[in-house]
Structure 1
Amino acid sequence: MSIKAVAAKIFAKNIYHKTQKWAQKPVETQQNVFTSLIKNAKNTHFGKDHDFTKIKSFEDFQKHVPVRDYEDLKPYIERVVKGEEDILWKGKPLYFAKTSGTTSGAKFIPLTKESMPFHIEAARNAILHYIHESGKADFVDGKMIFLQGSPILTEKYGIKFGRLSGIVAHFVPKYLQRNRMPSWETNCIEDWETKVDAIVDETIKEDMSIISGIPSWVQMYFERLQQKSNGQKIGDIFKNFNLFIYGGVNYEPYRAKFENMIGRKVDSIELFPASEGFFAYQDSQKEKGMLLLLNSGIFYEFIKAEEFFTENSKVYTIGEVEIGVNYVLIISTNAGLWRYNIGDTVQFTSLKPYRVIVSGRIKHYISAFGEHVIANEVENAMKEAVAETNIVINEFTVAPQINPSSGLPYHEWLIEFEKEPENMQAFAEVIDDSMRKQNIYYDDLITGNVLRKVVITKVSKNGFQEYMKSQGKLGGQNKIPRLSNDRKIADNLIKIG
């Protein structure tokens, strides 16, 4: 074992014990974060507008500060973008992470000198927890690739603008610089397809040990590698590749395809990063869910998803949540986001320590008939169907068909198959049965002949990539919603074929 690997094990043990200290005191840890946030922001424009000097408790906070989304906070953010100081947080942010909004167009999320270190530490600590639990550290001597956006930044009023993944690229520690791929020049390529081809050329003969990125785009990278190597398995191209790090979407629908492409099973680490904050990472290979980061400058609140759109819905803090309930995640951060609805929903899998899974998006659901279907349910159904029928999929999404040309309405599952089921009807039955078991509202609609059972529509090879390309969202941190309450995505995919 190399000196670098031995040092990584020692460092991993230290970080593990530091994590245990705050994880064992969750309520106290969150109280300390809350107190610090209010204290540091009381003299900002936002703090003065919302009487932060009068806030002494969570109840005071909830009374003085309403829950907001980006549109609600936008007037403050626009002032910061124009270079004003002490608006949402003291001083000016170091960066603005530019993201694609669904209703707001481009969104600009602030990153401050207080918040930025937590983005870097969380990604590092996820790997260190893996090392501590597994005892595996040899991979630190191999090459590591992080498929991400361009690190080219622009600057205005002393604040730099760019994609989060591009901003983070500027913070890769020196001890990883020699191992990190692709090269800076390749990483700066804007066109995703050109970039992937360049990454393939750079990495195909390297000793890759860690590969990281959103599964759908890593899949594209793997496909290009196989084309370049005359169909070789990824595990044969990279004999020491044994760790896949991912975030952004659930890996399970891709797992069978990945294992087939790699030629063997590899360990994986799930992350829950966003421009608004790095919320959680998988701290154990043995436990379900990701460790919610309670000491990272973020104060969390939770609203039950089923109550979110009702007036005066109850808000829960960390000591009040329950396992298995679908919560909308509300955050206040040391980047100046206050009671901010990021749009994600989570479910707790453990309360000692607090671990979560991402169950979907509060705006990404199907309830055209009152069924309240969420992403976690459709992903579980697909997982069951893949396991039972031994098929392989590349991508899928679900949408309601309210006005079919004949018969009852239905949920349409648009699927790009790598390996089709021998019996498509049986495959659809497995999905439908799983949905009915998970969602009583959906079951009632099927039983009551309001809906007919799911309908499968095949999407042509690379159809999802073509759709994303047509929307200007090919690659990077962009991803297909698992489900929609309208047919915008579905109809475009059907046009592609």
Structure 2
Amino acid sequence: MATKALFNSVVNWFIKQRIDQIENFIKNPIETQNGVLFSQLFHGENTDYGKIHGFSSISSYNDFKERVPVVAYEDFEPFIERARKGEKDVFWPGQIKQFAKSSGTTNAKSKFIPISDESLAECHFKAGKDLLSIYANNHPDNTLFLNKNLRLGGSAELYQDFNTKFGDLSAIMIENLPFWVEITTTPSKKTSLMSEWESKLKAIVSEVRNEDVGSLTGVPSWMLVLLQRILADTGQGSISELWPNLEVFFHGGISFKPYREQYRNIIGKDINYYEIYNASEGFFGIQDQSGSDEMLLMLDYGIFYEFIPMDRFDPNNLQAIPLEEVEIGKNYAIVITTNGGLWRYLIGDTVKFTSLNPFRIKISGRTKHYINAFGEELMIDNVEAALEKACEATQAAVSDYTGAPVFMKDGKGGAHEWIFEFCHAPSDMDLFTDVFDNHLKSINSDYEAKRYNNMTLNRPIIHAAKPRLFYTWMSERGKLGGQNKVPRLSNDREYIEPLLKLNLAD
């Protein structure tokens, strides 16, 4: 009892200290961000990249904006390749020894994101502690620290290449976690780092079925696959029968909206759900209010934020604005400068601000994942909202989906074509289509204009996928596992064509 009391005392002290720090950057957001920027410039001034762009004589944000270009991965890759080969002081002081390998969902080419000691400790690990602090502060009667956290990361190992290592971010983090995290986490490091997905699932089920799990952490789609396997293996009616102390799911990577009802059913009781916004490039946002669908933009992780309004997004002339100039409700592409050595780097995600005091955000999509073949500017957040309404109206539940344009041909109007994999089929597919279509009209005026009298866009074409279609497709592409995502939207037919073909195959 004395040990438990001491542990709780230490935890509560840490939580209070960190909550005070979070409240400080909430009160002083612009000052906090300016401090981050000039700290990064100081660290980078003697690197090759810093010398090229004159970091040492930058004295204002405008200087920074004028001298340092906004870059995509392809622009920055030559510097990353030099660092991967062991060169020091390329874009961050010293040698970067670890790189997170990520193909993302927009490009088949692998990306190698630098992970410095500072970004690992002051961003990724700090965010993990903050997530627990915020949750515990919001739920003082929690028992989170008395039970295990079930983590589901990517299927990856760390590989040696040149003088550096690379692998999934989750593999890098697991490799570097302090011992006390391993004690409170399941499955083991050995199992978590297994590469072959099916073997890994079996090993995880075997390890975790007899644990007392109090929290889950992972991507909703893949975690659902794991929980379904656990129920099939144990014969339990619900996850809460197996783990009665389960109280929260920390989730990220994709929207939770299509999965909320499925989780309520499989868990068998109401638990808390907290969204996080992280990527290989950094950890950006944490849901700080219970029951909310907004995330607090974390301003003291060594990341300086800029934003490009999507209505002015021009790949040949990327013009960003600072945090103090953003507006509520507009779509922005995110540009980051980090303590991992990324300078004005376009990560490919888009967000909307829901609050400016404090700065809270929702993920709205990807700069390359949208449908705008006819000027309709359809983003992922539009689709998720319409999908939620269609499912409610028809008692349906969707596990995966993708959409693409049908281009005009032979004088016929265009359309949007969708493949939805249902775990509960709609009671009426025509009603599902109408509700989906009408809600898109109600929340997206550009879509509504293009749908008017079917002049440009016809009624959506919706296909029901056969069971495990997306799982099979991802498997064929070598993309099974916790950090791989199904592309939700595309402005061409790159993804939907092979899926349609696979859906018709025996």
TM-score clears 0.5: yes
Question: 1:136: how far off?
Answer: 3.3
Q: Does 1:481 align with 2:487?
A: yes
Contact 2:272-2:291 at 8 Å conserved across structures: no
| Map 1:193-342 → 2, pairs under 5 A | 193-230=198-235, 232-309=237-314, 314-342=319-347
Question: 1:139: how far off?
Answer: 2.2
Secondary structure in structure 1 of the residue aligned to 2:204: helix
Q: 2:390 pairs with 385, 409, 412, which one?
A: 385
Q: Does 1:177 align with 2:177?
A: no
Query: What's 1:114 paired with?
Result: 118
- One-letter code aligned to 1:69: A
- One-letter code aligned to 1:305: M
Question: 1:179: how far off?
Answer: 2.3
Query: What's 1:39 paired with?
Result: 42
Normalised TM-score (structure 1) = 0.96
Cα distance between partner residues in 1 of 2:309 and 2:259: 29
Task: Mark the CA change 1:242 to 1:286 in structure 2 (over 3 Å): closer, same or farther.
Answer: closer
- One-letter code aligned to 1:110: P
Normalised TM-score (structure 2) = 0.94
- For residues 181-217 of structure 1, the C-alpha deviation after alignment (integer angstroms, 9 at most, x for no partner) is 1122222321111111211111112211111111110
Query: What's 2:109 paired with?
Result: 105
Q: Does 1:425 align with 2:430?
A: yes
Cα distance between partner residues in 2 of 1:150 and 1:481: 19
Cα distance between partner residues in 1 of 2:393 and 2:134: 33
Query: What's 1:451 paired with?
Result: 457
Q: 2:57 pairs with 48, 54, 57, which one?
A: 54
| Map 1:322-471 → 2, pairs under 5 A | 322-402=327-407, 408-448=413-453, 449-471=455-477
Structure 1 window deviating more from structure 2 (454-463 vs 402-411): it is 402-411
- One-letter code aligned to 1:354: F
Q: Does 1:67 align with 2:73?
A: no
Cα distance between partner residues in 1 of 2:154 and 2:107: 22
Structure 1 window deviating more from structure 2 (67-76 vs 285-294): it is 285-294
Cα distance between partner residues in 2 of 1:25 and 1:378: 35
Contact 2:100-2:113 at 8 Å conserved across structures: yes
Cα distance between partner residues in 1 of 2:92 and 2:30: 24
Contact 1:273-1:280 at 8 Å conserved across structures: yes
Cα distance between partner residues in 2 of 1:320 and 1:68: 21
Contact 1:148-1:477 at 8 Å conserved across structures: yes
Secondary structure in structure 2 of the residue aligned to 1:366: coil
Contact 2:371-2:377 at 8 Å conserved across structures: yes
Structure 1 window deviating more from structure 2 (99-108 vs 476-485): it is 99-108
Cα distance between partner residues in 1 of 2:397 and 2:369: 24
Contact 2:80-2:112 at 8 Å conserved across structures: yes
Q: Does 1:191 align with 2:217?
A: no
Question: 1:57: how far off?
Answer: 1.2
Structure 1 window deviating more from structure 2 (161-170 vs 223-232): it is 223-232
Contact 1:413-1:457 at 8 Å conserved across structures: yes
- One-letter code aligned to 1:43: N
Contact 2:294-2:354 at 8 Å conserved across structures: yes
Contact 1:323-1:348 at 8 Å conserved across structures: yes
- For residues 47-73 of structure 1, the C-alpha deviation after alignment (integer angstroms, 9 at most, x for no partner) is 111122332111111111111100000
Cα distance between partner residues in 2 of 1:97 and 1:215: 21
Contact 1:37-1:297 at 8 Å conserved across structures: yes
Question: 1:131: how far off?
Answer: 0.5
Task: Mark the CA change 1:78 to 1:439 in structure 2 (over 3 Å): closer, same or farther.
Answer: same
Task: Mark the CA change 1:116 to 1:452 in structure 2 (over 3 Å): closer, same or farther.
Answer: same
Contact 1:151-1:170 at 8 Å conserved across structures: no
> Structure 1: any 5+ residue segments left out of the alignment?
none
Contact 2:40-2:339 at 8 Å conserved across structures: yes
Query: What's 1:490 paired with?
Result: 496
Contact 1:390-1:421 at 8 Å conserved across structures: yes
Question: 1:287: how far off?
Answer: 4.2
Cα distance between partner residues in 1 of 2:211 and 2:410: 54
Q: Kindly tell me the number of residue pairs found equivalent between the two proteins.
A: 497
